[in-house]
Amino acid sequence: MALFETEALILRSYNLAEADKIVVCLSRSAGLIRGVAKGCRKLKNRFGAALEPFTLVNLTYYEKENQELVSFRQVEILKSRFNLSSNATMLTGFSYMGDLLIDFSPPHQANDNLFRMAIACFEAASETPDDLDAVLRYFEVWLLKLEGFLPDLRTCANCNKALGDEGAAYLGSDLSLRCSDCSSGRGRAVSNRLHTQLRTAEKLSPAKFAEGAREVSKETKREMAELTFQIIGRVLERMPRIRPAS
């Protein structure tokens, strides 16, 4: 039985037996982890409030070979979100991000870029709750990008012509972007203004992107939400369990 220690973001938990929980978290060094926290539902337990969803923790756990569930030994809070527990809109947005991390992350495969991006998005939304929608769009773009599903936003998939210079681009059924000539106008149209927003998300931090998005039109924000949600649905071959209002 090997002992490991890592930073982790608590995503979800389920009751198990009378006093235990199964906890799902995204860790820095081991990717998505599912573990058992024994006795955590007792009035007095060693975990305290550290297993609340969206809490950033330092996690120590045991792992047995050929077993998916690990055993939590110790959990220390690094950053809590308790102050947002009464904000239903924030909790829905956080649950949405948590669900997507679970859906897209293979178990026990570390992805430091994904972990850091997720932490930055949770932090940005916590700091400025009014920017939640913009942070969610940023999160969707970068989740798709890091997992290899975001279309190349730079050039047409057919002719390599630069996109965004003139006219709309079109998203095909293969999740590639093509210029108007190569697509013959077939597929989902991606306007120049939406293309600019997508490219901006690739270049900025979530906080900076959200700050700039305050000046973006409602129409462009709606376009972006519909596009990213459509791509996510195609990748998952189903719609996400939660969809925050946008």
- Tell me what pLDDT residue 244 has: 79
- Tell me what pLDDT residue 34 has: 97
Which two structure tokens, joined as six digits, stand for 152?
């190349």
Q: Are 20 and 42 in contact (CB under 8 A)?
A: no
The sheet carrying 169-171 orders its strands as 177-178, 169-171, 188-190
DSSP label at residue 84: G
pLDDT band at 246 (very low <50, low <70, confident <90, very high): low
Residue range 195-221: mean pLDDT, rounded: 97
- Residue 204 CA from chain centroid, whole number: 16
Residue with token string 């709606």: 222
Which two structure tokens, joined as six digits, stand for 40?
């955590």
- How far apart (Å, rounded) are the C-alpha atoms in residues 4 and 64? 11
Q: Is 48 left (phi over 0), alpha (psi -120 to 50) or beta?
A: left
pTM of full prediction above 0.85:
yes
- How far apart (Å, rounded) are the C-alpha atoms in residues 198 and 192? 10
Model confidence at 65: pLDDT above 90 = no
Which two structure tokens, joined as six digits, stand for 160?
């390599």
Residue with token string 């210029």: 179
The SS3 of residue 156 is coil
In the chain, the amino acid numbered 221 is K
Reported as a single tens digit per residue, the pLDDT across 154-201 is 999 999 999 987 789 999 999 999 999 999 989 999 999 999 999 999
